[in-house]
Amino acid sequence: MSQLKKSFLHKNQEINQSEKKIPEVGICNGKNILFQLTGSIACYKACIVISKLVQSGNQVRTLASEAALKFIGKATLEGLTDNAVITEMFGTRFPRAHIDLPDWADLLILCPATANTINALAAGLADNLIGSTFLANNFRKPYLIAPAMNTNMFLHPATQESLKKLEAWGVRILPTDEGRLACGTSGPGRLLEPEKILLEIMKCLGTK
């Protein structure tokens, strides 16, 4: 069996296990959630969270970076949410997405959040749609960040300082899990399991 097929089967097993752990009751419903994804293999976990949020009666819109779409396709996100994926800052379909989406959302979440995006947000950069949306929200609505990266990148002083700065501004920084990472190492930096992310969303929306 090829290594690629083994990896695929392993991810499927993780998805099945995660879905079994997700609580069936108590999840918020009737909320508008802006779910932002950046480039990480952990995007597959984000899809489980999105699916459960939609199944519970929430409206979810997805905003994906170009790198995120290397790991998960537009068709998957659109199929899960029944909404178009927003990717471009100057797209003709959503000319004011960075302004309108924070107004529409009850909660914004960046999941998975890479080291590059975390450090860019902490620097106040707005050269892409995720950065512009972050600045336009200005913490009027709950903003969650779920980091996902290699252990060394997570523990790097630049990343840790950025996380502290973002938290001081009002961002809710979710912890990471420890365990085996896609790069083959083991340690902190692993994206939280879907059921834990859902619980954090519920807390912010006052449903837990």
Q: What is the pLDDT along the chain (208 residues), one digit of tens a residue?
A: 544 444 434 544 554 554 555 555 456 789 999 999 999 999 999 999 999 999 999 999 999 999 999 999 999 999 999 999 999 887 657 778 999 999 999 999 999 999 999 999 999 999 999 999 999 998 989 999 999 999 999 999 999 999 999 999 999 999 999 877 777 777 798 999 999 999 999 999 986 5
Question: Structure tokens of 97?
Answer: 């997405």
Please, are residues 83 and 35 in contact by the beta-carbon 8 Å criterion? no
Active site residues: 183
Q: Which domains does the chain have, with CATH numbers?
A: 28-204 (3.40.50.1950)
Residues 6+ apart with CB under 8 A from 36: 62, 63, 64, 65, 108, 109, 110, 111, 130, 133
Q: How far is CA 77 from CA 14, 55, 60, 62, 69, in A?
A: 19, 14, 10, 7, 10
Q: What's the pTM?
A: 0.87
